[in-house]
Amino acid sequence: MIQFSTHQLSNGLRLIHHYDATTSMVAVNLLYDVGSSDENPAKTGLAHLMEHLMFSGTKHVSKYDDMLQRAGGDSNAWTNIDVTNYYDVLPAINLETALWLESERLVNLNLTEENIDVQKSVVIEEFKQRYLNQPYGDILHLTHGQAFKLHPYRWPTIGLDIDTIQTFVRDDIKKFHDRFYQVNNLVMCVSGNVDFETTVSLVEKWFGDIDGAPTLKRELPEEPLQSGPRFMTHHSDVPSNMIFRTYHMCSRTSPDYQATDLISDILGNGMSSRFYQQLILGTDMFADIDASVLGSRDPGLFYVRARLANGVDFDKANRAIDGVLQQLVDEGTTQHEIDKCVNKYLSNKLFENVGYAEKAVSLCGHELLWGADGINRENEIYRSLTPSKISEVTSRLFEANNCSTIYYGPDA
């Protein structure tokens, strides 16, 4: 059970506090409710570029990281399809420095042409390194583009292409920042060796006089129900042939999410999983295979990724995967198998949230989705899963018309 307190500023900022006396440090985590799915389809990659620009300096601070490092701290950030997350870790005695810097770059970000050009170059280089010049680097572009035809999850966080990033001008960036980087579109968690009263006082001092904006009305297009299986081949000079499958699944806040997540563990998590036992040990067709889920604000994707052994026929391997999935649909699972996977999940979750900084990220994420107390309540949902619930979700998930498949590799 993770203990925490909450406070909401009059301008709408939501503050979560977790006290940890075992450390002399503090983490300040800021989660902005904006991701790549909030972009205009003609301007993809803008949310990720905005993340980079938040480190470029402000009206009063030329270099954000320099000031934080002088206070003994460090910072970083990440963007995904739904949110953008920033975090600072520093000695608890210097908490006010982080809060000052975060409020400063929220209000007085220095969007100069020079800063924009520098960060565009950095993002373009990242695009080349991670997505164009790395084996299988384009797989998110392919899988999401195949599975989503209308919803903005159809492009990855980095954006659709480099050419679009090159065309961004200051006006594009300023409008994006002014729309989404608002104090009432922000969840903050302060976690570490600082008490609740001090935290509230300092957050009120540095954020309390920032005006909120009109509440955002997010109206993303709903992805139509997939009406038939989708298939494509993608020839690429990569080390191994691979099969990538996606199935449309529920959102992170759906009552079916935990069951769907557990299905991915039953199939692909560890040496006792069905894929490992039946396809890795039971055949000579696969080098590795796993399953995972996209826990997203809107309905996401269930992934199956399989690396084939040398010389194995794509169709033969694909039929073998079908066999394992159909067995789970037809025969279901047992309470013992469920309990084994739930215990592993709970153990991993405990280790993931062992540190004050990790708790700060998790608390913000849960608060944005369904309230910070979800970080504790969700464990009971996993513990309550039954074979009938798993079967109910499995039969819908692995319906043939819900599947998209890519044969990817030198033999595709």
What whole-number distance in Å separates Cα of residue 335 and Cα of residue 317? 29
Q: Tell me, what's the pLDDT at 354?
A: 86
* Residues 297-325 pLDDT 10s: 999 999 999 999 999 999 999 999 999 99
What whole-number distance in Å separates Cα of residue 29 and Cα of residue 297? 19
Q: Tell me, what's the pLDDT at 352?
A: 83
Q: Tell me, what's the pLDDT at 322?
A: 98
Question: What distances in angstroms separate CA 241 from CA 132, 142, 246, 307, 314, one per listed residue?
Answer: 18, 15, 17, 6, 8
Closest by Cα among 262, 326, 328, 319 to 286: 319
* Residues 155-183 pLDDT 10s: 999 999 999 999 999 999 999 999 999 99
Give domain 5-207's CATH number out of 3.30.830.10, 3.90.180.10, 3.40.50.12280, 2.40.160.20.
3.30.830.10
| Consecutive H or E run containing 246 | strand 242-248
Checking if the pLDDT of 216 tops 90, the result is no
Q: Give the mean pLDDT of the chain.
A: 96
Closest by Cα among 324, 348, 344, 347 to 336: 344
* Residues 345-363 pLDDT 10s: 999 988 888 899 999 999 9
Question: What distances in angstroms separate CA 160 from CA 39, 51, 270, one per listed residue?
Answer: 11, 17, 34
Output the pTM of the full model.
Answer: 0.95
Assess whether the region 5-207 and the region 230-409 belong to the same CATH fold.
Answer: yes
Would you list the domain boundaries of the chain?
5-207, 230-409
* Residues 358-405 pLDDT 10s: 999 999 999 999 999 999 999 999 999 999 999 999 999 999 999 999
The CATH class for the domain spanning 230-409 reads alpha beta
Checking if the pLDDT of 226 tops 90, the result is yes
Helix axes 170-180, 113-127, angle to 10 degrees: 90
